[in-house]
């Protein structure tokens, strides 16, 4: 009898039980669903105006699951405060104090500051850069090239099309986390080569997706 596929994998030095993560909002840790431990990881966005209290809650969850923190506001300060408590950090510069320029230099300047700041800590926490749906192919190419040379550990692509484009631009040489709206998109992104995928699935949908991924090959 053929055994189920093992879904465990290592990405950016972290060991995940499976590649499917749950995306939570600012209050996500407080209202985290009971089936969250079934997911390979959780990605939560902290409230910028109540960060210290949120960090206290974060410490409880990091003992139960791999936690990624998505930074969207006051990124440099938030990074400094959260660095030692998150398993990995996602930088979302498109929402950082109004940075919405197509000028890639805005993003690279921020990432340079963040990567340099990481050198101040003893612990190594992986850093991912979240891309947007706004970059054109001409903008995506230098951004992916920069990411590979900057010390970033990976990229986050916001939809299946961006996952494929990003993997192609990076030549599959760095991890890409996909963002999926449903189980079908999540499965497609993983099949296309995403290392991990984050989504907002309910209990039944998450279990069904994991069973599909566990199915043995037909070989």
Write the pLDDT tens digit of every residue in 165-174.
999 998 888 9
Model pLDDT, residue 64: 72
- Is-contact 125 118, C-beta < 8 A? yes
Q: What is the DSSP string of 154-217?
A: EEEESSHHHHHHHHHHHTT-S-EEEEESSHHHHHHHHHHT-SEEEE---HHHHHHHHHHHHSPP
pTM over 0.85: yes
- Summarize pLDDT for 181-211 with one digit per residue, the tens: 999 999 999 999 999 999 988 888 999 999 9
Averaged pLDDT, 153-177: 93
Model pLDDT, residue 102: 44
Rounded to 5°, angle at Cα 188 from 36 and 148: 85
Task: List C-alpha distances in Å: 116 to 11, 70, 125.
Answer: 22, 19, 13
In the CATH scheme, what is the code of domain 9-214? 3.20.20.70
Percent of the chain at pLDDT exceeding 90: 47
Which of the two residues, 51 and 161, has the higher pLDDT score? Answer: 161
Burial of 38 (0-12, 13-18, 19+ CB in 10 A): middle
Averaged pLDDT, 51-68: 77
Domain boundaries, the chain: 9-214
What is residue 104's three-state secondary structure? Answer: helix
Return mean pLDDT, the chain. Answer: 84
């Amino acid at each position: 009898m053929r055994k189920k596929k093992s879904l465990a994998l290592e990405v950016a030095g972290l060991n995940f039980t499976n590649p499917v993560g749950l995306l939570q909002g600012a209050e996500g840790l407080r209202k985290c669903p009971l089936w969250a431990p079934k997911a390979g990881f959780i990605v939560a966005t902290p409230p910028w105006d109540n960060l210290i209290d949120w960090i206290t809650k974060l410490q409880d969850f990091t003992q139960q699951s791999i936690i990624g923190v998505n930074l969207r506001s006051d990124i440099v300060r938030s990074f400094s405060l959260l660095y030692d408590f998150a398993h990995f950090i996602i930088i979302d510069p498109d929402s950082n104090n109004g940075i919405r320029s197509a000028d890639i230099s805005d993003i690279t300047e921020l990432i340079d500051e963040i990567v340099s700041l990481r050198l101040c800590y003893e612990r190594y926490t992986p850093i991912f850069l979240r891309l947007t749906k706004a970059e054109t192919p001409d903008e995506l190419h230098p951004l992916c090239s920069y990411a590979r040379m900057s010390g970033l550990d990976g990229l986050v692509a916001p939809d299946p099309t961006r996952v494929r484009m990003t993997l192609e631009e990076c030549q599959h040489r760095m991890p890409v986390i996909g963002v999926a709206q449903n189980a079908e998109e999540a499965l497609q992104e993983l099949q296309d080569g995403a290392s991990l995928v984050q989504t907002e699935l309910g209990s039944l949908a998450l279990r069904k997706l994991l069973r599909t991924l566990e199915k043995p090959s037909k070989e």
